[in-house]
Amino acid sequence: MRVVIAEDLFLLREGLVRLLTAHGFEVVAAVASAPELLRALLDERPDVGIVDVRLPPTHTDDGLRAALQARRQVPGLPVLVLSQYVEQLYARELLADQAGGVGYLLKDRVFNDEAFTAAIRNVAAGGTVLDPEVVQKLMVRHSRTEPVTRLTPREHDVLALMAEGRSNAAIAQRLFISEKAVSKHAAGIFAKLDLTLSDDDNRRVLAVLAYLES
Amino acid sequence: MLFAIVLLLTIGCIAFALAREARGVPRPDGLRGRIRDRGWALLLLPVAMSAAVMAGGAHGLIPAELIIAVLLIVFAPKAAARVVPYGMLVLAIVGVKLARSYQGGNTSGVQYLFVHAVSHGGAELVLAEAGVLFVTGLWLLLRLDAPGARPVRALTARWLASGRGGISGVAALLLIPVVGLTMQLLGPGNWFGWQAVDGLDVAVMDLTLLAGALVLIFRSRAWAATLAAAGLLVLGAYGWVIALFWPAVPGFGFAFVDLQNSPPHETFWGAGLEASVLLAAGLWLAPRVARHHLAGSPDPELVTRARQLTQRVQTLTQTRHDAVDTAVAELRRIERDLHDGAQARLVALGMSLRAAERLFPASPEAALALVAEARESSSLALTELRDLVRGIYPPVLADRGLPDAIRALALDSPLHTVLEIELPGEVEMPVAAAVYFSVAEALANVSKHASARSVHIELSYAAGMLRAEVTDDGAGGADPALGSGLAGVERRLATFDGILAVSSPPGGPTILVIEVPCALSSPKTSSC
């Protein structure tokens, strides 16, 4: 799997390259600024771009803006955005095109290399991965509104994990329940939230996120 | 007999009124306390008494007036007190009229306060008493805040206001005797040989001169004083000329010397003495006026500007003090958070790693568990650092500026938020941070206290003023004085001359408005 990495701090960039190489990814470019990133994404057309939000030249959200611009030119170009902070505002901008192939994670998630590489593969496959912290904020927004309050605690947990972009299998493993039980909970959630249930994992995530973002 | 009563009453009343004013003296019980309570109103007694005595005394007028006065004092002490200054002013005017009518040949004697006036004598004393009454009446008018006191007070305040030309009021007031002396010197109807047609001409001229002098005194203290100084010198010099050469020089009267009817030696000594006094006064005043004019009269605009600048410096000193305090407190908080949070976690992490290092040869599994613990520790340290940084300067604010930072705030709020943001440019960072934290505090308050369902946030810019308005549909009744958070917000905004206003009637809605004067820069161009 071909990967482009954009990270301005040398130590972190080298760390990421080492980690991904060790897990069998091919790092085709490791760049340190937003213009370089944009060029690398458009020239290399990697399977996934791993992008730090804050990059030179302005050291603000240049990385995010470069990633969004690349996705405007190449719709659905998979991008996993890493940041020291997660903001709902940025998540919303990343999800706005509804094309999938988007991830938004805190940098510390790199510590858990299995989960991290799984997230990269998920994004590369067109899936959507959101940091649990963003999802938690989304859930808080709706915690007082009507349909969400009717969910059972278990359904609530499942909804949060679905919003993070996890598959039924991953949710089952996480909650120590069977995949069938997860499907049942999912059906219950979709019925209560008045959403149309889809077997496609990615479309399901997008539906859930679209609901939570409303 | 009657004057003695009036005198005693007057002295007694003033003593009571002043004693009542004296601070820290508790009101004694009983009759004394009640009398003291009546205060200035007691002055109505002598005023009524004087009026009654002057009007003729007999036929039950004295008892009738005194009864009315006593009733007023007992049942409406405040109204009685306010009547007193007007009573005094009316008495003063009557006194002036009385004095004039005696000069006009009136022969019937009238008791005016302490003086029994008749046409042969006492008219001057009546005039003096009337003067005292007039001044006392005016003073009481201001003192008691009687109706009509305000314009009088405004006029005196304007007159007494410091910085009006830097010349004392007394110096300018000297113009009045100077004008009076000049008119006296010119005499009625005989202006150095030019005979006026009749007394009316003279009266018109005298009145015009006096009015001109008064207007000048009020309009420009400095020029009134200048004219007074010049007048004193000229009059003084002319006084000596009179003393030496009278009757070869023209003149009607010189101060207290009646030139037309005095023997020569009286004219010499009198005029000489008076002229010396006038010259001395003129020489005292002239250098002051000259110094003032040489120093350049301060432009009234500059004076106003100086006052504004002084106020500005006071405000800035206060807000700078607050800003420094806030900054120090903030640094202290950051230091404490780092010390107890991330720093402690990193120490624990280092210890775990060291222990893992030591354990590794003997028990690799236990070492692995410690490494996992170390990783957990680093995660927690990161989380704490993240929260800390968010409190120092929110990343979205740094990345995107105020509008997006407010949008991010709204997204993070559990309430339903409606945003209305209209900024034609970028807000500079320090102001943006102050407004951001103010809105954040407002939102936090709404979700904590207001039991609101939705919040409306409006951000706009007009006429050099950045304005943020946070309106909720909650229960209202918020008291801005209670929250220390809002006080902090107010201090933070004050550094930028910003203000905070809260309206929260019971039943809602609560509206919080922030206004900060600032300039907007042109919108940032996208870098990629």
A120 and A138 inside one domain: no
Give the position of tokens 């008892």: B63
Task: Per-residue pLDDT tens, chain A, 214 aa: give them.
Answer: 999 999 998 988 999 999 999 999 999 999 999 999 999 999 999 999 999 999 988 888 999 999 999 999 999 899 999 998 888 889 888 988 888 889 999 988 888 888 899 999 999 998 889 998 888 888 877 766 667 777 888 888 888 888 888 888 888 888 899 988 988 888 888 888 877 767 676 677 777 777 777 6
Query: Could you give the angle at which helices B77-103 and B61-75 cross, rounded to 10 degrees?
Result: 150
A69 and A161 inside one domain: no
B412 vs A34, A62, A137: nearest CB: A137
Mean pLDDT (chain B) is: 81
Q: How far are the Cα atoms of A76, A209, B454, B476, B486 from residue B511, in angstroms, in the given order?
A: 44, 32, 13, 9, 13
Q: B474: which chain A residues are within 8 Å (Cβ-Cβ)? A: none
* R_g (Cα) of chain B, nearest Å: 40
Q: How far is B473 from chain A (nearest CA, A)?
A: 16
Supply the pTM of this predicted model.
0.57
Decide if B299 touches A, using CB distance below 8 A: no
Instruction: Using the predicted structure, report yes or no on whether residue B114 has a pLDDT greater than 50.
Output: yes
A141 and A118 inside one domain: no
List pLDDT tens digits, range B243-295. 887 777 777 777 777 777 777 777 788 888 888 898 898 888 888 888 777 77
CA atoms within 13 A on the CB side of B129: 22
Of B10 and B493, the one with more pLDDT: B493
Q: Do B411 and A88 touch (CB under 8 A)?
A: yes
Query: Could you give the angle at which helices A153-164 and A132-142 cross, rounded to 10 degrees?
Result: 130
- What residue spans in chain B does CATH classification 3.30.565.10 cover? 396-521
**Per-residue confidence at B159, pLDDT binned at 50, 70, 90?**
low
Helix (H, G, I), strand (E, B) or coil at A27: strand
A171 and A120 inside one domain: no
Chain B residue closest in CA terms to A108: B379
Residues in chain B, overall count:
528
Q: Do B396 and A34 touch (CB under 8 A)?
A: no
Q: Do A141 and B399 touch (CB under 8 A)?
A: no
Decide if B527 touches A, using CB distance below 8 A: yes
Q: Do A111 and B414 touch (CB under 8 A)?
A: no
Q: Do B411 and A89 touch (CB under 8 A)?
A: yes
Q: Do A88 and B412 touch (CB under 8 A)?
A: yes
> What CATH code is carried by the domain that includes residue A54?
3.40.50.2300
Q: Do A87 and B375 touch (CB under 8 A)?
A: no
**Per-residue confidence at B461, pLDDT binned at 50, 70, 90?**
very high
Architecture of domain B396-521: 2-Layer Sandwich (3.30)
Q: What is the pLDDT of residue A6?
A: 95
Q: What is the pLDDT of residue A2?
A: 95
A89 vs B389, B407, B528: nearest CB: B407
What mean pLDDT do residues B88-99 have?
A: 86
Q: Do B386 and A58 touch (CB under 8 A)?
A: no
Chain B residue closest in CA terms to A68: B528
Among candidate residues A130, A164, A180, the one where a domain is terminated: A130
Q: B426: which chain A residues are within 8 Å (Cβ-Cβ)? A: none
List pLDDT tens digits, range B393-440. 888 998 889 999 999 998 888 888 899 999 999 999 889 999 999 999
Domain count, chain A: 2
* CA gap A41, A66 in Å, rounded: 9
Give the position of tokens 């290092």: B357
Chain A residue closest in CA terms to B385: A84
Instruction: Using the predicted structure, report yes or no on whether residue B527 has a pLDDT greater than 50.
Output: no
* CA gap B510, B455 in Å, rounded: 10
Among candidate residues A84, A106, A130, the one where a domain is terminated: A130
Helix H segments across B450-505?
Answer: 484-494
Q: What is the pLDDT of residue B480?
A: 65
Q: How far is B452 from chain A (nearest CA, A)?
A: 12
Q: Smallest Cα–Cα separation from B54: which of B131, B129, B139, B105?
A: B129
A72 and A174 inside one domain: no
Residue partners of B468: CB distance under 8 A and separation at least 6: B406, B435, B438, B439, B457, B458, B459, B513, B514
A25 and A99 inside one domain: yes
Bridge partners (DSSP) of residue B416 are B454
What mean pLDDT do residues B374-388 have?
A: 88
Of B453 and A199, the one with more pLDDT: B453
Q: Smallest Cα–Cα separation from A24: which of A113, A89, A107, A101?
A: A113
Decide if B412 touches A, using CB distance below 8 A: yes
Chain A residue closest in CA terms to B381: A108
A38 and A117 inside one domain: yes
Q: What is the pLDDT of residue B57?
A: 57
* CA gap A94, B363 in Å, rounded: 46
CA dihedral B106, B107, B111, B116 (to 10 degrees): 120
A155 and A87 inside one domain: no
Of B201 and B229, the one with more pLDDT: B229
A107 and A43 inside one domain: yes
B66: left (phi over 0), alpha (psi -120 to 50) or beta: alpha
Report how many Cβ contacts below 8 Å link chain A to chain B.
Answer: 60
Chain B residue closest in CA terms to A113: B375
Q: What is the pLDDT of residue B115?
A: 76
Helix H segments across chain A?
Answer: 10-22, 34-44, 62-73, 88-95, 113-124, 132-142, 146-149, 153-164, 168-175, 179-193, 201-213
* CA gap B501, B481 in Å, rounded: 11
User: ipTM score of the complex?
Assistant: 0.82
Decide if B432 touches A, using CB distance below 8 A: no
Residue partners of B417: CB distance under 8 A and separation at least 6: B410, B411, B454, B455, B456, B457
* CA gap B31, B46 in Å, rounded: 20
Q: A92: which chain B residues are within 8 Å (Cβ-Cβ)? A: 411
Among candidate residues A114, A130, A146, the one where a domain is terminated: A130
Instruction: Using the predicted structure, report yes or no on whether residue B528 has a pLDDT greater than 50.
Output: no
Among A56-70, B26-40, B334-348, the least confident range: B26-40
Q: Do A140 and B414 touch (CB under 8 A)?
A: yes
Q: Do A137 and B379 touch (CB under 8 A)?
A: no
Residue numbers of the domain that contains A17: 2-130
Q: Which of A11, A60, A109, A137 to mutate to test the interface with B (most CBs of B within 10 A)?
A: A60
Q: What is the pLDDT of residue B200?
A: 66
